[in-house]
Amino acid sequence: MTTHLVTFDVVPEPVRVPSGSLLSEAAQLAGIEINQPCGGQGRCGRCVVKVEEGIIRRRSSLRLSQEDIAQGYALACQTVVESDVRVVVPPQERIERRLTTDLTVAEVTVPIGYENRLYQSIRRAYLSINPPSMDDQTDDLSRLTTALRQQVGFTSVQISLDMLRKLGPVLRDAEWEVTAVLDVHETLSGGGIEEWLIDLLPGKVYDDEPIWGIAVDIGTTTVTLWLVDLVTGQVKAQVSDYNAQIRRGEDVISRIVYASRNGGAEELRTLVLGTINHLLNLACKRVAGYTITPNDVVKATVTGNSTMVHLVLGIPAASIRLTPFVTSVNTVPLIRGREAGIKINPEGIVDCLPGVASYVGADISAGVFASGMDDSDRLILFMDVGTNGEIVLGSSEWLVTCACSAGPAFEGAGVVDGMRATKGAIEEVWINGETLEPSYRVIGGTPPRGICGSGLISVLAEMFMTGVIDKAGNLNTHLESPRVRLGEHGWEYVIAWSKQTEHKKDIVITHVDIDNLIRAKAAIYAGYTVLASSVGVPMQMIDQMLIGGSFGKYINIEKAVQIGLLPDMPWERFQFLGNTSVRGAYYALLDRNARERISDIASRMTYIELSADNSFYEAFISALFLPHTDLALFPTVAEATQKESTST
Amino acid sequence: MTTHLVTFDVVPEPVRVPSGSLLSEAAQLAGIEINQPCGGQGRCGRCVVKVEEGIIRRRSSLRLSQEDIAQGYALACQTVVESDVRVVVPPQERIERRLTTDLTVAEVTVPIGYENRLYQSIRRAYLSINPPSMDDQTDDLSRLTTALRQQVGFTSVQISLDMLRKLGPVLRDAEWEVTAVLDVHETLSGGGIEEWLIDLLPGKVYDDEPIWGIAVDIGTTTVTLWLVDLVTGQVKAQVSDYNAQIRRGEDVISRIVYASRNGGAEELRTLVLGTINHLLNLACKRVAGYTITPNDVVKATVTGNSTMVHLVLGIPAASIRLTPFVTSVNTVPLIRGREAGIKINPEGIVDCLPGVASYVGADISAGVFASGMDDSDRLILFMDVGTNGEIVLGSSEWLVTCACSAGPAFEGAGVVDGMRATKGAIEEVWINGETLEPSYRVIGGTPPRGICGSGLISVLAEMFMTGVIDKAGNLNTHLESPRVRLGEHGWEYVIAWSKQTEHKKDIVITHVDIDNLIRAKAAIYAGYTVLASSVGVPMQMIDQMLIGGSFGKYINIEKAVQIGLLPDMPWERFQFLGNTSVRGAYYALLDRNARERISDIASRMTYIELSADNSFYEAFISALFLPHTDLALFPTVAEATQKESTST
């Protein structure tokens, strides 16, 4: 028997193995622990190593790109040793990073060249005001407006009654030396500029001291808030939480129905404002080095779907739900914090980004901007997967959009053990094809508390690929595994036993959860395919597919394709952008030009009503399988399932 | 003994009387009841008759003008018959009218040429809006703004969040046919026009249907409100009441002090808003032929002294009271009813007229406009006698102004039996020089309840002329009259016995009341004389003296001169204008040009601070006598008192 020497960089001595052995076997012999969460089936990509010398044969390289292969990367569990080889074992964390980098949310970086003086609508102006005397009995307000005119050239300063009430005491306490904080923006008619006075701070505030703003994305399920220093542009805190409205309905339709009850609209408004204001407090506390109170926040840029924006403003949303499905307001005028009920500075600006239609809201206008597709030469399909799935197709030349109701499953809601993608959430799952035992990765590395959207996609794909469920999503009740059992909600698969979990309860996925997830992915798949075909664009023509949403931090494209959520196209065409809605709001918060471009995007998008289209329903029904009724649409999945069944 | 025949037109037979008889004696003989409230002393002018033929000798013609005399008018009690005469006795009401016409408030007439379409800021626009359909899913707001732009050319319509909340239901209930009510005005910077949406009424409202507005004058003591149909310009109701703040202090200083207490400002605001809103309700109920609710009122033009305007808006007034006596705000931006707390339509416009200085407020800007003095070639002294006395001197070329604190006595407040000039108020008093018995006229002809400002001037003058009080205002305690007595407040004069009064209590004027009245008139006299001398204008040069204020409906110039409130100048130079403040507000409410002129007036007036001037205090002390320390300043009064003492 021919043997070969396998030299690992992490141990002093090489090991000798028979020719044809797997690298994973050699590693085991050398005493190196290599992660194989998928049970050595070449699906998880976690056992990646780099072969620096020698001949190997790759049985499968499902998780590796051409470039990876060219550099010598190989999956230890799928790589056959055919000569002496020298192998580098990357540190586990580096593997994870390598595997996920291009699939995860890009870090938030301040836009290049951001200069608050040039782009920011919030301005600070130090004013040295002449105090009154018996020789000059001019009123306080005239003194202030004169100083604003003469010292900083502001001629149309709007001052609220509440501000007038504070004026006299503030000027006197500050001994007539104040820093005015104002928002400078175009007038409604667009013909000129006006300035809204927000605050008068005693004395001189230096230019580099922070000005606080927030970007808020109000999702049906999740509310996200970023606290930003508008001077540097840096995001200083990112927080999110479930929208407290959830307890009154999981999707926008049930919220609208609830709002139409007596007192319902006011209750929903109070609930979501409670969430926003809680997040605001939380974000303020999270910022190290500053003592910030919500009152220090002078500007909020708000986005969300049309229903959420209506409900948070107390505007009736009923017409959104009824034929012909129109909003009351797509473009909300600037309002003050006081009016909005958001507990930033009561004089602070609340800028609600513009929506397009009932089911394509400001979150999509913002998302399209954040994705950059409106400025691209390539044909891009952008989708925002939340409780609703909104899809935009186009480029710099044209944009069409539609929406479909996915439900909150991908946000971890409406699923027995679902949770948001925060600490304690299972974000990825591998199931050993033989033992059917799962392994998983938990955000924060703690014992798990539940499973988030990316974890759900992952477990659904794994169950499908390992035969725990069939292509219709039915649990295989004949398997000899304690993991598949009849629970209180019917048949379910146990992902984690109670003793492993933080809350000492089993974490499961039930057949109802599975149905919800399949319906959600089917709605989204039907949405983008019907949109594309409605404008005569074959899916293959799409140069790039940009995916926004809050599934979780790490999304596994392979698995998303396996369940038929994403189309089967080359992986490099996919890009996950995370929460594009809040990101767009962040850019708009920083930059007047970005804000203007978002308005342009909203007015440029052509909305296509899917409910008026029978083909949507047909496409939806066809997509209620894993990955799809028509397996020809998913060739790589077909190939993998074949391999899977061959190897088993 | 020579006798003469006296023929009265009102009885069939002439009467014969001895030569030298008084006409009043002849009338008595003929059985004609001629009013002689002053006891036949020739002071009240109520016994006026017209001698058409024959020779008479006038002992006194104090109440008659040269023109009256030329026409044959004579006081029956002062006219000696020296031949056969023929006499016409005018109906009593005609006498009253003749005596008071030019001395009383002119009736409110709509400005000539008023055309609401040309001058009114409130506009109504009927809009027929395309309903949404599956082919046109435009949002409600865009539909409305498009209709406003295309159908009536409004391009800068500002819509409040509350209005957005009503938008969808209103448009649908009205089946997309609405009449928009808007206020069209210049932008703050003056560069353009903006429209504020106030209301959306279902269907088409015809052009001649009323648009309701109010003019409100917030006096320290009295609040006056006029309800106006802005379409015709007609005043449909005039109501007034004491400012409920009175219970927290009688003058602006004590109010400001009270407001600086914890919660004081909010309490004062609530009190005055209570008064305004009560008057608003009252006025709405008073209009015959319409069912009006306060919510139907879409515009309020508000005036008042600076302290009142600050307090009603909740703006700290402390600086008004402290050196260097400055206001926080002279020119208040337009606000909405909701913000102001005035319970007109919450979206309605509240336009606070501009003030000049701490003690020359919007009431004076409005008053000067109402008086027309800013547009006059003649030198005019305008004064507004309220709790403060404000004085403006000038013409179309220049305007100077000052203020003095008079106290509320002339508004019937701070006086034991004082009341406003409403039904049941004694508005004029005559005291019989021999018996010291008073007679009086009561507003509405009912039993009296109290005495108003004009009644107080009247009784003060009568007491002085009949010797009930001396020139220092001390009651003559040696008189043999039950009317002069020691009451619970000290010495007092009884104007009406309890059995004659409505509330069955004596109506008196006490020595404290008298002191208050003398101090009030002294402050005003000192104010205008010092103002005139400060700009080098002798009182004689003043062509006209215009008097505004709420003393009462009929003010007796003669008596006002006798007490030294008004200067001793030819009566034809005086004109009483009534409440010029509310009248100015009314004009501003109707007419954008008037509104603009009031702003011009406010900016043109030069304020002179009397407190900085020792001469004011000296003038005040000198004026603490009836009519004045220096009797040479009041030659006609000197003459009358001499006659009085001669005839007694």
Res A383: pLDDT:
92
Res A86: pLDDT:
93
Q: Do B319 and A607 touch (CB under 8 A)?
A: no
Angle between helices B592-604 and B580-590 (to 10 degrees): 130
Exposure class string for A408-444: b at 16+ Cβ within 10 A, else e: bbbbbbbbbbbbbbbebbbbbbbbbbeebebbbbbbe
Q: Give the alpha-carbon dihedral of B462, B468, B469, B470, to 10 degrees.
A: 100
Q: Do A158 and B358 touch (CB under 8 A)?
A: no
Give the residue with greater pLDDT, B444 vs B350.
B350
* Statement: residue A385 has pLDDT above 90: no
Q: Which chain A residue has the Cα nearest residue B155?
A: A189
Q: Which amino acid is at B299?
A: K
* Statement: residue B648 has pLDDT above 50: no
* Sheet strands side by side (includes A425-431): A438-442, A425-431, A450-451
Residues 6 or more apart whose Cβ sits within 8 Å of residue A397: none
Q: Which two tokens stand for residue B276?
A: 């305004």
Q: Average pLDDT for residues B29-53, to the nearest whole number?
A: 76
Q: Which amino acid is at A170?
A: V
Chain A residues lying within 8 Å of B149, measured CB to CB? none
Q: Do B194 and A188 touch (CB under 8 A)?
A: yes
H helices present in A231-375, as ranges: 252-259, 264-286, 306-313, 318-321, 337-340, 362-371
Res A553: pLDDT:
55
Res B553: pLDDT:
55
Chain B residues lying within 8 Å of A358, measured CB to CB? 137
Residue A89: phi and psi, rounded to 5, are: -100, 110
* Phi/psi-derived region of residue A458, left when phi > 0, alpha when psi is between -120 and 50, beta in every other case: alpha
Single out the residue of B199, B192, B156, B207 nearest to residue B299, CA to CA. Answer: B199
Residue-wise pLDDT tens digits, B328-378: 999 999 999 999 999 999 999 999 999 999 999 999 999 999 999 999 999
Res A98: pLDDT:
38
Q: Do B155 and A189 touch (CB under 8 A)?
A: yes
Single out the residue of B196, B175, B173, B162 nearest to residue B129, CA to CA. Answer: B175
Q: What percent of chain A has pLDDT over 70?
A: 94
Res B411: pLDDT:
81
Question: Within the 150-209 window of chain B, which residues sit less than 8 Å (CB to CB) from chain A?
Answer: 155-159, 161, 164-165, 167-169, 172, 187-189, 191-192, 194
Residue-wise pLDDT tens digits, B584-615: 999 999 999 999 999 999 999 999 988 777 89
Res B102: pLDDT:
30
Query: What is the pLDDT confidence band of residue A643, given thresholds at 50, 70 and 90?
Result: low
Q: Which chain B residue has the Cα nearest residue A330?
A: B139
Please check whether residue B347 is in contact with residue B296, taking contact to mean a CB–CB distance below 8 angstroms.
no
Predicted ipTM of the assembly: 0.83
How far, in Å, CA of A428 to CA of B103, rounded? 94
Helix (H) or strand (E) holding A426: strand A425-431
Res A93: pLDDT:
45
Q: Which chain B residue has the Cα nearest residue A133?
A: B324
Please check whether residue A407 is in contact with residue A516, taking contact to mean a CB–CB distance below 8 angstroms.
yes
* Chain centroid, CA A374 distance in Å: 19
Question: Within the 131-150 window of chain B, which residues sit less than 8 Å (CB to CB) from chain A?
Answer: 132-134, 136-142
Shortest distance, CA A501 to any CA of chain B (angstroms): 47
Single out the residue of B620, B644, B638, B636 nearest to residue B468, CA to CA. Answer: B644
> Which residue of B148, B156, B321, B326 is the best one to mutate when testing the A interface, meaning the one whose CB has the most A CBs within 10 A?
B326
Single out the residue of B419, B387, B382, B383 nearest to residue B406, CA to CA. Answer: B387
Q: Do B157 and A314 touch (CB under 8 A)?
A: no
How far, in Å, CA of B276 to CA of B218, rounded? 8
Considering chain B, what is the average pLDDT of its residues? Answer: 90
* Statement: residue A71 has pLDDT above 90: no
**For the ranges A370-384, B20-34, B236-250, the one whose mean pLDDT is highest:** A370-384
* Statement: residue B634 has pLDDT above 50: yes
Res A288: pLDDT:
83
How far, in Å, CA of A439 to CA of A448, rounded? 12
* Statement: residue B157 has pLDDT above 50: yes
Please check whether residue B359 is in contact with residue B390, taking contact to mean a CB–CB distance below 8 angstroms.
yes
Neighbours of A90 (CB within 10 A): 16
Residue-wise pLDDT tens digits, A184-203: 999 877 778 999 999 999 99
Q: Do A164 and B339 touch (CB under 8 A)?
A: no
Helix (H) or strand (E) holding A47: none
Residue-wise pLDDT tens digits, B81-107: 999 999 988 776 444 433 333 333 446
Q: Average pLDDT for residues B184-209, to the nearest whole number?
A: 92
Please check whether residue B385 is in contact with residue B401, taking contact to mean a CB–CB distance below 8 angstroms.
no
Tokens 């141990």, residue?
A11
Report how far apart the first and last C-alpha atoms of chain B are (Å, whole number): 26
How far, in Å, CA of B145 to CA of B159, rounded? 10
Res A96: pLDDT:
44
Single out the residue of A196, A199, A172 nearest to residue A185, CA to CA. Answer: A196
Chain B residues lying within 8 Å of A158, measured CB to CB? 188, 333
Query: Dihedral of CA B580/B586/B589/B590: which sign?
Result: negative
Q: What percent of chain B has pLDDT over 90?
A: 68
Of A158, A168, A315, the CB nearest to B188: A158
Interchain CB contact of A319 with B (< 8 Å): yes
Res A204: pLDDT:
96
* Statement: residue A629 has pLDDT above 80: yes
Residues 6 or more apart whose Cβ sits within 8 Å of residue A289: none
Single out the residue of B636, B527, B381, B455 nearest to residue B644, CA to CA. Answer: B636
Q: Which residues pair with B226 in a beta bridge?
A: B215, B238
Shortest distance, CA A200 to any CA of chain B (angstroms): 15
Please spell the DSSP secondary structure of B383-398, one letter per residue: EEESSEEEEEEE-SS-
Q: Which two tokens stand for residue B588?
A: 């501003």
Of A142, A159, A324, the CB nearest to B137: A324
Residues 6 or more apart whose Cβ sits within 8 Å of residue B421: B412, B427, B443, B452, B453, B454, B550, B551, B552, B553
* Statement: residue B482 has pLDDT above 90: yes
Res B549: pLDDT:
81
* Chain centroid, CA B507 distance in Å: 24
Of B140, B318, B609, the CB nearest to A134: B609
Question: Within the 59-88 window of chain A, which residues sit less than 8 Å (CB to CB) from chain B?
Answer: none
Res A38: pLDDT:
64
Helix (H) or strand (E) holding A57: strand A56-58
Q: Which two tokens stand for residue B361?
A: 């407020």
How far, in Å, CA of B583 to CA of B371, rounded? 9
Give the residue with greater pLDDT, A600 vs A94.
A600
How far, in Å, CA of A62 to CA of A59, rounded? 9
Please check whether residue A522 is in contact with residue A627, taking contact to mean a CB–CB distance below 8 angstroms.
no
Q: Which amino acid is at B217?
A: D
Query: What is the pLDDT confidence band of residue A7, given thresholds at 50, 70 and 90?
Result: very high
How far, in Å, CA of A182 to CA of A569, rounded? 49
Considering chain A, what is the average pLDDT of its residues? Answer: 90
Of B138, B140, B188, the CB nearest to A156: B188
Please check whether residue B50 is in contact with residue B87, taking contact to mean a CB–CB distance below 8 angstroms.
yes
Written in H, E and C, the secondary structure of B225-249 is EEEEECCCCCEEEEEEEECHHHHHC
Neighbours of B593 (CB within 10 A): 12
Query: What is the pLDDT confidence band of residue B554, given thresholds at 50, 70 and 90?
Result: low
* Statement: residue A244 has pLDDT above 80: yes
Interchain CB contact of B260 with A (< 8 Å): no
Residue A562: phi and psi, rounded to 5, are: -60, -35
Residue-wise pLDDT tens digits, A519-571: 999 999 999 999 999 999 999 999 999 988 866 556 788 889 999 999 999 88
Single out the residue of B328, B307, B224, B219 nearest to residue B258, CA to CA. Answer: B307
Q: Which residues pair with A200 in a beta bridge?
A: A180
Report how far apart the first and last C-alpha atoms of chain A are (Å, whole number): 27
Q: Which two tokens stand for residue A391?
A: 């899809």
* Statement: residue B296 has pLDDT above 70: yes
Residue-wise pLDDT tens digits, A119-130: 999 999 999 999
Query: What is the pLDDT confidence band of residue B63, given thresholds at 50, 70 and 90?
Result: low
Please check whether residue B55 is in contact with residue B64, taking contact to mean a CB–CB distance below 8 angstroms.
no
* Statement: residue A102 has pLDDT above 70: no
Q: Which two tokens stand for residue B338?
A: 């909701």
H helices present in A153-263, as ranges: 161-173, 252-259
Res A644: pLDDT:
59
* Statement: residue A645 has pLDDT above 70: no
Res B36: pLDDT:
67
How far, in Å, CA of B618 to CA of B644, rounded? 30
Res B610: pLDDT:
80
Prediction pTM value: 0.83
Question: Within the 589-618 window of chain B, which residues sit less than 8 Å (CB to CB) from chain A?
Answer: 607, 609, 612
Neighbours of A31 (CB within 10 A): 11
Query: Dihedral of CA A532/A538/A541/A544: which sign?
Result: positive
* Statement: residue B559 has pLDDT above 50: yes
Residue-wise pLDDT tens digits, B489-534: 899 999 999 999 998 999 999 999 999 999 999 999 999 999 999 9
